[in-house]
Structure 1
Amino acid sequence: MCVIFLICSFLISQKVFAADLLVDLPYGQIEGRVLTSPANVDFRAFQGIPYAAAPVGNLRFQPPEPPEKWNGTRKTVKDGNICYSIKRDSDDENEDCLFVNVFTPVLTNTDDTKLAVMVWIYGGAYRTGSSKYSNFGPDYLIEKDVVVVTLNYRLGPFGFLATEDGLISGNAGLKDQAAAIQWVHDHIELFGGDPEKVTIFGQSAGGSSVGYQLLYKKNEGLFRGAILQSGSPLSLFSYMGDISARAYAFDLAKQIDATLDFQNDTRLLLDFLLSVKGKQIDIASTLTTVTSRPLPVIEVPNDRAIITKESYELLEAGEFLKVPIIVGTTSEEDIVAATDLDQMEESRAACEKDHTKLIPKDFKLKDGVNKSDVGTTIYNLYFDGVSDENKLGYYFQYKSHDEYTRPMIKHADLASQYTDVYFYIFSHDGPMGNFNITVPGAEYVGHSEDTKYIWKVTSSDYENGDLSMFPEGDVLAHKRIIELWTNFAKYLNPTPEPSELLQNIRWPKVSSDNYQYLDIGDNLSVQKDPKGKYYKAWTKYYDDWAKRPFTTY
């Protein structure tokens, strides 16, 4: 009798388990698979789910449309195609790439609990990247009982071509992200997720994409929290700036067929670009001379526009979705450029000869301001009294502040006037970060090192699925950031109650008159005024010498 009971119980549990792998979407049924995390926790994986129609034919460059329906059961057990990336050639690149992956703990039919949801937007300078499981394995997050969604969005010219007249409005990649966020809100309950507890997060271009989604008013109610890691709409790499998007579009077409004369007619241009193969556009994107990549632009106002005004001005005016956010950087973002020290030294030496090279490209001088004086003031801020041995390290500090740190601190500062903001600096330096070059005068933790402490990564030269291969301090930093991020997704507070793992720290909110932040180092510590000397100086420079309106900062 006991044997029969055990066999029946096993068969019933297997039936429930199998049913958990089938999900009925409005577009058709999908079937996922079961994966197991490093801590031996089983979870469900549904990979390569279409969230939009394939953006091909007349849909190329246009905002995404709803996915087409399918018959039967679609196997969603492996990554879908990745989007075309500039200067990357892969067999799985394809224009048909608008897929989401959903990962969720195994739930029983009797479990009515709806879990918090974390939606990841990858970085890659808006020109490369994908949501492949090998890059962003959600295992460690899943172990904390959250649902994780990763998504693809169009990159390079497919995602960010614009003609500046509204014919190709631009920002198709950001619109893909918004469509995926809408898809999550509409369907995540079918996977055990709570549509009222969605947090979006991303790093680098993914972080700035999160910031753009916060500026998009049609996202109201679709998510309740956001995490911006090392990227903001205020970042220089997040906006086309003075580069002409229209000129880039014609340049791209000329790289495909230099004999054609478009007569500056964007209709002729679009007709041509719709007539060629995606691979031709992909190759042409590696040859353009106007710029090596298109980026987000301010659009001609239209019903589906994501960006219609300068990002800084929107943030300052409170014209964004006022949900709680985490914002932060690594301690020395640009130290990753130390792989080419000769080039960096050459760049530093050029700035020493001509101090005006240190003026940010988005820094438009007010009338009557002396450019040479501004350049010298910036030079003295970083190099006055610095030994020759440390000058290159201080140049790395300048580059880190210019490209990453300054806009992140400012974004948090502006947003804190209207909503709850938690700022951090990730300063723990360990082998899990997978970067070990140091330069005298610079800090240690570079761009994207923090992501290695969040995601399970598997590649030919790096793998972090076996935590026993890393020092105890590395594993502790990993567990802490996982705890902080998933706490925020669950409670909108990264430290909702005292925790021994988190050293009983209470992470304070940012306020302009008391700018506190969490240093995530070998230990957790609350500190004041991130990059204080430099940030205060740059604030004064922008106030005194830069012409409004600001887009980046």
Structure 2
Amino acid sequence: MIQLLVLLVMAAASDAHRQHGGAPSTDGPLTTSPSGTFRGSWMTTRKGQRIEAYRGVRYAEPPVGELRFKPPRLITQYKDVVDATQEGPACPQPVQNDYPVDEDCLRLNVYTHGHKGKLLPVIMYMHAGGFYSVSGRSDVAGPDYLLDRDVVLVTINYRLGSLGFLSTGDKQAPGNNGFKDQVMAMRWIQRNIAAFGGDPNLVTITGYSAGSFSVFLHMVSPMSKGLFHRAISMSGSPVSQIVIPEHQRHLAERQARLLGVSTDSSKAIVDGLKTKTAKELGDSLLGMFEFDYDPVLLWVPVVEKDFGQERFLTMQPLDAIRQGKMHQVPYIISQTKDEFFWKAFNVLRNETLLKTMNEEWYRIAPISFYLSPNTARHAADRLKEAYLGGKELVNDTKTADGLGKLYSDAIIGFGVHRLVNLMARYSPKPVYYYKFSYIGDQSHYVDPDTKKPVGAAHHDDLIYLFGVTASFSLIAPSDSEDSKLVDKMTAIWYNFARYGDPNPKGDTPEISALSWPVIKPDSRKYLRIEKDFSVHANLFEDRFKVWEELYPLPN
């Protein structure tokens, strides 16, 4: 079974209205915006507030037929009343248990308190999933917790895998369509959200992992200018040891070969893939990996060449930061304490994978840890020495710790470290940094014997911000530490969405003791989120020294 990134979707089909009180009602709320009229349904937050939910709303034309592999087309007018009472499908990807997926997936969900006189801050969430899995549906990004605050929440789908990120490096498929989908959703928000009680001039874009990559890319994309006002990137960075390419033709060709399509030309690839069903494309994901489920990141953004199209990304994100070519907004950046530590267990507990990684270290390390081809052998040696003492992998605690840290730093940690420190230096707006270290009753990785969480894994902070009912039970209001953390996490987001500052206000007593400083180049402080919050400095910098040496910033 595909690992953590896909488990959110593969867990168990659980339509959100099943979690929130049965089938949709015909007497749901009605909202009229400049684009049309929407009929929603009622939901209830964890503290019992009744809220309006408008789900499965198409924000762009269905990307099917001749629109497959094309940039999205924003819907500006709906002819009929939009039935927004039920979830829309996730975008095509491997699923279990008849989980609903469909190519007609450019949908968003709006959760609101309705009109309360004053327009409320808007939080837009872009989901995780490696750009090939998960969705914005309410069973993986539900409003249960955040809507106990006075905010409007919008969660979105964007095209995944080859359907969203096919890039041949020419006019046939310039790339980045999944990111352009996100831009269309942001434009939809600007046009319509005031009718739902949201303030279009107070939009916070947020995202996790692949969604975190996306958030920062919007900060440097010319397409996203003026569409948001604060940003939160959780556990993901497009600035790392990886240099953003101009195309990913090798993935286009791999996708074509998997489905028996000619690779003679870009046109042959695109035309051939258009003859395949969306299910065939989605279900072919397993064939895209090279070693077990590595590399975790397959499709990445590309710096688009100019073929007359509206370009999402026109320069390297690193260059944009250093040249000050960013949309200047307050910014929160984070990583978890243990991130992808569990991937070490996948290797060490599997005799075949363990033997392969040991015997073919110089082939596997560049795949699993994103090492540049021109320095891969040297980097593989240095990293093996730094994290594993230069020793062969064995299935013991010490090796698991070292290999787990190597996976975590290669996939997430070093990139986040590089991004936050660059932003501390170059951003004129405040930048806040946190490490999520809390280990609660639920986690995206549990020990297979004890069934208990043993680390603060990738995605775990989402458990305290959203209802993730496809995988976890909701955290009821109580005196439990998990419940207290929900209140603290949502308070941080609420304050940041309102003021661009996560620190306490009079109406957020849950975090009254919080004093979270801005990170500075000469004062690299971060907030450690555990049972109690505390401020520390120089997060994991001892581990990141080897990465800085291997991948120094260009002059």
TM category (shorter chain) comes to 0.7 to 0.9
Structure 2 unmatched runs, 5+? 1-25
The letter of the residue matching 1:454 is: L
| 1:515 counterpart (505, 524, 546) | 524
Q: Structure 2 matches for 1:189-200, cutoff 5 A? A: 189-200=194-205
Give the CA deviation at 1:341. Answer: 5.5
Distance 1:527 1:37, change over 3 A: same
Residues 288-339 of structure 1: CA deviation (Å, up to 9, x unaligned) = 5889954322222244221233222322333221211100011010123255
Match of 2:176 among 171, 192, 199: 171
| Partner residue, 1:297 | 302
Corresponding residue of 1:256? 259
How do 1:154-165 and structure 2 match up within 5 A?
154-165=159-170
Deviation at 1:196, TM superposition (A): 0.8
CA distance in 1, matches of 2:42, 2:345: 39
- Report how far residue 255 of structure 1 moved: 3.4
Task: Kindly indicate whether the alpha-carbon contact (under 8 Å) linking 2:381 and 2:390 is maintained by their aligned counterparts in 1.
Answer: no
Is 1:540 matched up with 2:543? no
Structure 1 match to 2:318 = 312
Residue 218 in structure 1 maps to residue 223 in structure 2: yes
State whether residues 199 and 226 of structure 1, in contact with CA within 8 Å, keep that contact through their aligned partners in structure 2. Answer: yes
Instruction: Report the secondary structure of 2:342's partner residue.
Output: helix
Q: CA deviation at 1:383?
A: 3.9
Question: Matched residue of 2:543: which SS?
Answer: helix
Q: Which residue of 2 aligns with 1:181?
A: 186
Q: Which residue of 2 aligns with 1:234?
A: 239
- Does residue 323 in structure 1 map to residue 329 in structure 2? yes
Looking at structure 1, the residues matched to 525 and 213 of structure 2 have their Cα atoms a distance apart, in angstroms, of 22
Shift of 1:430: 0.9
Structure 1 position 266, deviation (Å):
2.1
- Aligned-partner Cα distance in 1 for 2:97–2:310: 31
- The whole-number CA distance in structure 1 between the counterparts of 2:512 and 2:549 is 36
Q: CA deviation at 1:484?
A: 0.8
Aligned residue runs from structure 1 range 483-502, under 5 A: 483-497=491-505, 500-502=509-511
Distance 1:255 1:347, change over 3 A: closer
How much does 1:53 deviate? 0.6
Q: 1:525 to 1:175 in 2, by over 3 A?
A: same
The code of the aligned residue for 1:164 comes to G
| Alpha-carbon distance in 2 for matches of 1:507, 1:489 | 16
| 2:100 alignment partner, SS class | coil
**Corresponding residue of 1:117:** 122
**RMSD of aligned Cα (Å):** 3.3
**Structure 1 counterpart of 2:142:** 137
- The partner residue of 2:431 within 421, 425, 429 is 421
User: Match of 2:8?
Assistant: none
Give the equivalent residue in structure 1 for 2:404.
396
Q: Does 1:332 align with 2:299?
A: no
Q: 1:354 to 1:336 in 2, by over 3 A?
A: closer
**Which region of structure 1 is more displaced relative to structure 2, 429-438 or 40-49?**
429-438
Deviation at 1:523, TM superposition (A): 0.8
Amino acid at match of 1:334: F
Deviation at 1:195, TM superposition (A): 0.7
Moved more, 181-190 or 311-320: 311-320
In 2, Cα distance between equivalents of 1:467 and 1:496? 21
Alpha-carbon deviation of 1:425?
0.2
Q: State percent identity of aligned pairs.
A: 27
Deviation at 1:282, TM superposition (A): 3.1
Cα distance between partner residues in 1 of 2:504 and 2:339: 29
Asked whether the equivalents of residues 239 and 296 of structure 1 are also in contact (C-alpha less than 8 Å), the reply is no
Question: Does 2:505 correspond to 1:505?
Answer: no
Q: Which runs of 5+ in 1 are unaligned?
A: 1-17
Q: 1:104-152: CA deviations, max 9, x gaps?
A: 1143xxx420100100000111111111111111121111110000011
Contact 1:432 1:453 in 2 (8 A): no
Partner of 1:14: none
Larger radius of gyration: 1
Sort the Cα spacing of 1:212 and 1:355 in 2 relative to 1 into closer, same or farther, 3 A: same
Q: For residue 329 of structure 2, what is the amino acid of its counterpart? A: V
Contact 2:231/2:329 (<8 A) preserved: yes
Q: Structure 1: which amino acid aligns with 2:532?
A: N
Distance in 2 between residues matched to 1:317 and 1:443, nearest whole Å: 42
The amino acid of 2:403's aligned partner reads Y
1:260-275 matches, cutoff 5 A = 261=262, 264-275=264-275
SS of 2:526's partner is strand
| Maintained 8 Å contact 1:332/1:443 | no
Change (3 A) 1:396 1:349: farther
Give CA deviations for 1:349-403 in whole Å, capped at 9, x if unaligned. Answer: 877778766565344657xxx954x544433333449997423212211211111
Within 2, Cα distance between the matches of 1:167 and 1:467? 52
Q: Sort the Cα spacing of 1:507 and 1:272 in 2 relative to 1 into closer, same or farther, 3 A.
A: same
Q: What CA deviation, in whole Å up to 9, does each residue of 1:405-459 have, x standing for no partner? A: 11111111111222311000000111133533399xx982111111111111223
2:249 to 241, 246, 251: 246
Alpha-carbon distance in structure 2 between the residues aligned to 1:472 and 1:280: 45
Q: Call closer, same or farther: CA 1:446–1:206 in 2, change over 3 Å.
A: same
Q: Is the 8 A contact 1:433 1:450 kept in 2?
A: no
2:442 equivalent in structure 1 = 432
- The answer to whether the 8 A contact 2:46-2:148 is kept is no
Structure 1 position 463 matched with structure 2 position 453: no
Whether contact under 8 Å (1:515, 1:528) holds in the other structure is: yes
Q: What residue number does 2:5 align with?
A: none
Instruction: Give 1:348 deviation, angstroms.
Output: 7.2
Contact 1:253/1:284, CA 8 A, preserved across alignment? no
Paired residues of 1:25 and 1:187 also in contact (CA < 8 A): yes
- Match of 1:451? 462
Tell me what 2:151 maps to: 146
Conserved 8 A contact 1:61-1:159: yes
Aligned counterpart for 1:55 among listed residues 55, 63, 84:
63
TM score, norm. by length of structure 1: 0.84
Distance 2:440 2:99 in 1: 34
Cα 1:300–1:487, aligned 2, differ >3 Å: closer, same or farther? same
In structure 2, the residue corresponding to 1:321 is in which secondary structure? coil
Cα–Cα, structure 1 residues 401 and 505, in superposed 2: closer, same or farther, change >3 Å? same
- The alignment covers a number of residue pairs equal to 512
Distance 1:398-1:344 versus aligned 2 partners, 3 A rule: farther
Question: Displaced runs of 4+ in structure 1, greater than 6 A?
Answer: 289-292, 344-355, 385-388
The answer to whether the 8 Å contact 1:46/1:101 transfers is yes
SS at match of 2:340: helix
Contact 2:432 2:526 in 1 (8 A): yes
Letter in 2 for 1:30: F
Distance 2:164 2:200 in 1: 27
Of stretches 506-515 and 332-341 in structure 1, the one that deviates more from structure 2 is: 332-341
Amino acid at match of 2:460: E
Q: Deviation of residue 507 (structure 1)?
A: 0.7
Hey, what does 2:16 align to over in structure 1? none
C-alpha spacing 1:371/1:277, structure 2 compared with 1 (3 Å): closer
* Paired residue type of 1:314: A
* Aligned residues of 1:203 and 1:229 also touching (Cα < 8 A): yes
How far apart are the structure 1 equivalents of 2:519 and 2:513?
A: 19
Contact 1:54-1:67 at 8 Å conserved across structures: no
Q: Distance in 1 between matches of 2:288 and 2:373?
A: 26
SS at match of 1:334: coil
In the alignment, the residues of structure 2 paired with residue 117 and residue 153 of structure 1 have an alpha-carbon distance, to the nearest angstrom, of 19
Determine helix, strand or coil for the equivalent of 2:401: helix
| 2:533 match | 524
User: Could you say which residue in structure 2 is the equivalent of 1:279?
Assistant: 279
